[in-house]
Amino acid sequence: MSLVQQRTSCRAYEPKPLPREYLELMLEAARLAPSACNKQPWRFAVVEDEAMRMRLVDEAFLAGIPMKWAINAGAIIALGMEKSAITHKIAPKISGVDYPLLDLGIAGEHLVLQAEELGLGTCWIGWIKPKKVRAIVDWPKGIEPVGLITVGWPITEKRKTRPRLPAEEIIKWL
């Protein structure tokens, strides 16, 4: 609960590199996430290289959205989805739900909460150009980029909490 309460999307970072063991811990938390049929559809590309991070910010973010702040994140992690027949073709036909995408949310958030525990800031970014991401991180066609997560040393005074809907509006007790 304390991690959840503390976490906000962090869009201001100090331009300092990240300890490799911090990134490894975050990815380990993601690796252990649960998934539909234990399919583990997640793939991660951890971009620490500065030139490559610049390319992601310049080319893979949707134009018109100011994302220059992301350059100071020590790493940008691309989240990709590996397609599988059971969960992608059979399950959606039965229940109408694309579970691997939900699973990516679970795994990505494990990573985010682990980062929070280490004192790092993160931001989920969905407004991306998937093909550009794939080209930059050089993933094969079978891996579908679904988002990016920036990770860095937060400038904490710039943190902002956004309001949430009241509990009564989203929860029904039966």
Nearest to 12 by CA among 120, 115, 127: 120
The answer to whether residue 9 forms part of the interface with its own copies (CB under 8 A) is yes
Return the residue of 57, 73, 146, 151 that touches its own copies, per CB under 8 A.
146
CB 81 within 8 Å of CB 42: yes
> Residue 136 CB, nearest distance to its own copies (Å)?
9
Contact pattern for its own copies over residues 87 through 126, marking x by CB under 8 A: ----x--xxxxxx-xxxxxx-xxx-xxx--x------x-x
In the chain, the amino acid numbered 122 is T
DSSP string, 36-90: GGG---EEEEEE--HHHHHHIIIIIBPTTS--GGGGGSSEEEEEEEE--HIIIII
CA 2-67-27 angle, to 5 degrees, is: 45
Contact pattern for its own copies over residues 23 through 52, marking x by CB under 8 A: --x-xxx-xxxx-x-x-x-xxxxxxxx--x
# chain residues binding its own copies, by CB under 8 A = 67
Beta-carbon contacts of residue 116 (< 8 Å; ≥ 6 apart): 3, 6, 7, 122
Residues 52-71 close enough to bind its own copies by CB under 8 A: 52, 62
Residues that bind its own copies (CB under 8 A): 1, 4-5, 7, 9, 25, 27-29, 31-34, 36, 38, 40, 42-49, 52, 62, 91, 94-99, 101-106, 108-110, 112-114, 117, 124, 126-130, 137, 139, 144, 146-147, 162-165, 167, 170-174
